[in-house]
């Protein structure tokens, strides 16, 4: 593992996730993370946010992509947290339908 502080590793993984998914996505996307990984590395979630439910479902179903995304953690994330880190997909359509378009309330 590199000597980067954990916060910088988390941000670097976020950028790598964005680039990897951008290569296969059919629409614009963003990637966000949250968690208290400074308490323990298992407390981390990455969300890959797209516009449509159809794109969310297509990307989620891509098992090869999901394995590649998980493999990014092996490169530079603490081993004791890797298996617990959540990498998920969400769509604006779902947030609009279920949470009135408010992402913060959706994840709360």
* Contact assessment for residue 51 and residue 26, using Cβ atoms and an 8 Å cutoff: no
The answer to the question of residue 99 being in a domain is yes
* Contact assessment for residue 85 and residue 73, using Cβ atoms and an 8 Å cutoff: yes
- CATH number of the domain enclosing 91: 3.30.300
pLDDT tens, per residue, the chain with 108 residues: 556 799 999 999 999 999 999 999 999 999 999 999 999 999 999 999 999 999 999 999 999 999 999 999 998 899 999 999 999 999 999 999 999 999 999 988
The answer to the question of residue 63 being in a domain is yes
The answer to the question of residue 15 being in a domain is yes
Report the domain count for the chain.
Answer: 1
Task: Rounding to the nearest 10 degrees, give the CA dihedral for residues 92, 25, 88, 13.
Answer: -120
Burial (CB < 10 A; 0-12, 13-18, 19+), residue 3, is exposed
Enter the pTM of the model.
Answer: 0.91
Residue 18's alpha-carbon distances to 13, 23, 29, 48, 89, in angstroms, are 9, 9, 8, 8, 12
The answer to the question of residue 1 being in a domain is no
**Range(s) of the domain holding residue 100:** 6-107
């Amino acid at each position: 593992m590199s000597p980067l502080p954990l916060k910088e590793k988390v941000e670097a993984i976020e950028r790598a996730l964005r680039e990897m998914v951008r290569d296969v996505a059919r629409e614009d996307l963003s990637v966000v993370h949250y968690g208290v990984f400074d308490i323990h590395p298992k407390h981390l979630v990455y969300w890959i946010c797209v516009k449509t439910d159809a794109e969310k479902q297509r990307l989620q179903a891509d098992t090869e992509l999901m394995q590649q995304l998980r493999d990014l953690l092996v490169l530079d994330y603490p081993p004791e947290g890797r298996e617990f880190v959540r990498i998920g997909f969400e769509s604006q359509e779902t947030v609009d339908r279920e949470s009135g378009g408010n992402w913060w309330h959706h994840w709360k």
